[in-house]
Every structure is written in C-alpha cells, then in structure tokens.
Amino acid sequence: MVLKKFVLLVTAIVCVAGSMRAQQNSDVYSYINAYKEIAVHEMQRTGVPAAIKLAQGIHETQAGKSDLVQRSNNHFGIKCKANWAGDKVYHDDDARGECFRSYTTPEESYADHSNFLRGSSRYAFLFELDPTDYKAWAYGLKKAGYATNIRYSQILIKLIEDYGLEQYTLIAMGKLSPQDEVLTGGGKPIGSGNTTIVATPAPIVSRKEEAPVTTIAVAASVAQYPAGEFTINNTRVTFAKAGTSLLAIARQYDISLSRLLDFNDMREQDILSNDQLIFLQRKRKSGSGEYHVMQSGETLYSICQSEGIRYESIMHYNHLEHEQLPAVGEKLYLQAVAPQRPKLASEVAAYNAGNSAAAAYTTHVVESKETLYSIARKYDVSVENLKSWNRLASYDVKTGQELIIYKN
C-alpha cells in the first residue's frame, strides 16, 4: 500500500513537472511570436542580432511573465543609470529596491536596448562580430558585463538553438525569406500582424560567400554589405567608403571611369564624399521586388542604388519628374507603372501647414544618441503623436533631423 502511494506520488510529480515545462514552452512561443517582428526591425535599424535580442528578452522577462516587465515594459533588465531621465520603477535584483527604466510600450524597451548596446563603448567590439555568430555575441555580452549570471552565455545559446531564433537574424539580413520562417507554437508569420517589416535585404553574394561584412546605416534600416564584389538585383556592385577614388575603382574592375559614372548616375567626380554602393555594370530596368516603401531620409537616388534599378525607370513607373521627392510611407513601384503618382513630401508639408496654422508648435533638432522616446519624454508628448506629426515611417530618427512638436 505504501509502495502504491509512493508510485502515485512520483507519477503526480512527473506529470506536474511535465505540465510546467509545457507551460513554459507555451510562454516562450507566445513571447517569440509577440516580439519577433520588433527584433527583426531593430536588427535592421541598429545591427543587434534578432536572435540575441529575442533570447535576452525571453530570459530577462521569464518569457514575458516577470514582475519587472509586467510593471514597466522593461524587457532587458536595463537599470536607470545616471543619464536616465525617463520613468522608473524599483525592483529587487542584485540589491534591494534597485532602479530600473520604465517604458510606455515594449517597442520603446526594444529600441532603448538597441541604443544602449550601440551607444556604449563597452559593447562596441560586438558590432565587429559576424551577426550570425550568436555564440560569439552571447559570450561577448557576458564578457562586457551585461549580466552577473556566470551561465548567461550558455542560457542565451540554448534558447537560440532550442527555439530556432537564428532564423530571425537571417530574415533581418535578407538571407532568409519571411515566407520560409519556421513558425513556433502555431504563431503567425512575419508580416501578418500589426507590424510591417520593410526590409532592405542584404544582397546575394555571387563571389566570396564568406567575405567579411560591413554594416552601414541607410535611412531607417541597417544594410549589410560584403567586402569586394557582390550582386544586387543580379547586377555587379561593390561597396565603397567615403574618400575612395572612383578612378581607382574603375581601374580595379577594368572599367572606364566614364562608364562607371554612367552606371551610377553620377556626374564628373573622383573622390566619394559619402559611403555608398558603386555599380560595376548598368542597373536593371526593373527591381527584384514589386515595390519599395519610402523611408525617412531616403532619396530617389539612394533607392535606385539600394534596389539596383535605373533612375529613369523608377521615375517612369511612378509618374515622377525631376526634383519631386515622394513622401515618407509612400509606395514606389519597381516593376510596373503605378496606378497613380505617390504623394510628394512637399504636398504633405503644405497640407500639414494648412491644417495646423493655428496650432502653436516648436521645432527640435535631433542630437546625437537621442531617440524618439527620449524626445517625447522631454516635451511631455506621446511617441505616437510625435511620429504622426512628423509623418515618420518608423521610430527611427537621425542626428540633425528637425522634428515638429505641437504644444497643448
């Protein structure tokens, strides 16, 4: 009788433990599906690998169930520090009642985490690593002092491998199509929810597949370009840094300077004033994608370069004339003639001015390391209003960008 009771007790314990593990898995799946698109967007914006970000979020929040995240939307356990001017909550961690940052939305927490890593000299070496080397990133975070847990690196690596998180890094880099996503726990595929990922995919490398990757900021995303020659839209191209001689590039690839300038819609010049893509043959008449959504800071020229499409083609497809700049968020057709011309930035500005002439407003010039969130806090307005007033397509802002802030 005693043995029977013992067996029943052990069976019950095993069932409960199995149930708890199943629940934990369910919570992790729910977390991944809730935040994977934000992680992909943040990688495109700042270069923090989506797999690492999701693994950190799962661990730091106990898959979204921790007291800290429930009270503060703080997904990464970032403490206040001296320079934090936003909302705060107090939580027991390494010591009692420590100060942690508090956010209005999870998106703000994800963005602040990216900015925190990107803007700190302690973590600068991480961005020299291959973004697909999640083990190096995990060990690097521990080495830089992100967490005190001696098993922190192993925890992140196990989460990435157990839940297939590396696919989101590959999707962010354009090396895996969102359609090829392996769904976790019955979730919805990327792009089917409220968040729209507008990716500028990494070009497919035709040579030197293992070439080191250079990361540069392009508009509202982070583009990944290999060293040497590769292809965009089945067209040969290379990435050149500011200060590079175009004549030197022409000689390197056995092309005349005049043809190189023609391929890149350039007038007579030699030294590049900005980092940019340089095509080594004429771009295509149509893009590889159906359309491109205009991002803040982009120009028609930068879109032609990133998409590998001829300038005259994009003008023709979208009923545009020289000097006309589409408004942020407008869809530009890359393969066929659009049903109508996109709204222009000048038209949107005139409309906004006409509808807000009576409203008092001030302007703010974005400073280094400022985010939309910190600016909103500074003027006591919502992030969404700030985004709407300035017709921003994303939560990204650039140093020197001018923002309008309406007063109550």
pTM for the whole structure: 0.46
CA distance 55 to 155: 8
Give the position of tokens 């992140």. Answer: 156
Quote the number of domains for the chain.
4
pLDDT tens by residue, 87-125: 888 877 666 778 888 888 899 999 889 888 888 888 889
**297 & 248 share domain:** no
- Identify the pLDDT of residue 352: 62
For residues 339-361, average pLDDT: 68
339 and 274 housed in the same domain: no
Helix (H, G, I), strand (E, B) or coil at 55: helix
Q: Assess whether 236 and 367 both reside in one domain.
A: no
Q: How far apart are CA 387 and CA 64, in angstroms?
A: 27
pLDDT digits (tens, 9 = 90+) for 381-401: 877 778 777 777 777 788 888
**Pair 249, 262 in one domain:** yes
pLDDT tens digits, 160-175: 998 999 999 988 888 7
Domain residue limits at 301: 283-352
Q: Which of 247, 280, 313 is the last residue of a domain?
A: 280
Last residue of a domain, one of 180, 215, 235: 180
Are 168 and 75 found together in one domain? Answer: yes
Instruction: Provide the CATH number for the domain around residue 381.
Output: 3.10.350.10
- DSSP string for residues in 284-307: BSS-SSSEEE--TT--HHHHHHHH
> Is there a single domain that holds both residue 256 and residue 313?
no
First to last CA, the chain: 76
pLDDT for the residue numbered 15: 41
Question: In this predicted model, which residue has the larger pLDDT, 266 or 50?
Answer: 50
pLDDT at 206: 30
Q: What is the mean pLDDT of residues 184-209?
A: 47
CATH number for the domain that contains residue 78: 1.10.530.10
**Residue 407: per-residue pLDDT:** 66
| 8 within domain boundaries | no
Taking the alpha carbons of 74, 103, 392, 265 in that order, is the dihedral positive or negative?
negative
176 and 216 assigned to the same domain: no
Q: Is residue 21 part of a domain?
A: no
Q: Closest by alpha carbon to 240, among 284, 281, 201, 273?
A: 273
**Torsion sign, CA atoms 269, 274, 277, 283:** negative
pLDDT at 220 over 50: no
Looking at residue 7, its pLDDT comes to 41
Which residues, other chains included, contact 72 with Cβ-Cβ below 8 Å and sequence gap of 6+? 87, 89, 91, 100, 101, 102, 103
Q: Would you state the pLDDT for residue 316?
A: 94
Tokens of 288: 């590889």
Which of 280, 297, 318 is the C-terminal boundary of a domain?
Answer: 280
With cut-offs at 50, 70 and 90, classify the pLDDT of residue 185: low
The residue-averaged pLDDT of 323-337 equals: 88
pLDDT exceeds cutoff 80 at 275: yes
24-28, 254-258, 359-363 — most confident range: 254-258
